A and B are shown apart, each in its own frame.
Chain A
Amino acid sequence: MSDVLFEQVTRDLRSKGFKILEKLGDRMFVAEKKEKYLFYVMVEGVEVTTQTLLSVINMGETLSMDTVLALVSNDGTVTYYFVRRIRLPRNVYAQGV
């Protein structure tokens, strides 16, 4: 992988004490520090479909790992967000109608 923006993510994670365990695709990999996380890299300006993002989240659920989106600015600054699918329960505080 010679994508310099992608490299910024793995470099940043290593500097934070993460070990990159396995690449699972172009933008997806598993890294570990205490716990394992599924990472997905999103580059500023490049859209991904909802379907793609959902399949990444599903993958995280399947692997029982938190999914982290690594957002890379177009000059290589990285910000991380956890993402999960929310399945809302019925609100227990709902007032009876």
Chain B
Amino acid sequence: MSGVLRGLAVVVQDVELARALYREGFYGRFLGYDKVKRDEVDKVSAPLILALYEALYLAERGRIKVVAEDGAEIPPEKLAELGRGMIRNFDDVYKIYKYFRDLGYVVKSGLKFGALFSVYEKGPGIDHAPMVVVFLEPDRGISATDITRGGRLGHSVKKTFTLATVLRQTGEVVLLGFSWAKL
């Protein structure tokens, strides 16, 4: 039931565990594959790579045990600490990840969209358009440019995107939905 921390990602070698995690909520990505469908999972025999926030989420839920390459267990707090040291705004980003995951959404990297996350109801390769989620640093305000930039991300004609931030006062995750208005 374990994954090995290597750098900023966790590798799950156990094929059965890898398949189970992927099936459960499209956690991770099979090395060498992209957008594997749920019913194709049993045909894939490749290690699963979990992003740090995915591994942390699964570790906190007792779903996986993360170990170092020498086999020593790495508790969730240590994973969070590692993230904090290496990734800007890690705690806020993780909070947003957790917010979507706890509500049952599939959260994947947003890099190829130029965003923080792409969020799916059913999963990558199934949903036609993910919710493109842009991170807004809590201590910064919002500018007009943030909004038009977001509008350029999705390739949907409606130019819809979501800004996610964490309110400093309450720690609450706030989602703002924007869409271009042809008035």
Contact = CB atoms under 8 A, between A and B. Distances in A.
A79 B167 CA distance: 27
B34 interface: no
Q: Is the interface of A mostly helix, strand, loop or mixed?
A: mixed
Contact of B143 (A42, A86, A87, A95): A42
Given A88-B175, A91-B104, A91-B121, A46 B143 contact: yes
Contact of A94 (B104, B138, B140, B143): B104
B143 A50 contact: no
Which 7 A/B pairs are nearest by Cβ-Cβ distance?
A94-B104, A47-B141, A91-B104, A71-B144, A86-B175, A80-B181, A42-B144
Contacts of A71: 144, 147-148
Interface in B56-105: 63, 100, 103-105
Given A50-B165, A85-B176, A86-B177, A45 B143 contact: yes
Given A42-B147, A82-B181, A91-B104, A48 B23 contact: no
B63 to A, nearest CB: 8
Nearest to A18: B183
Contact of B183 (A49, A57, A68, A94): A68
Nearest to A45: B143
A83 interface: yes
A20 to B, nearest CB: 13
Interface in A68-97: 68-69, 71-73, 79-95, 97
Nearest to A83: B178
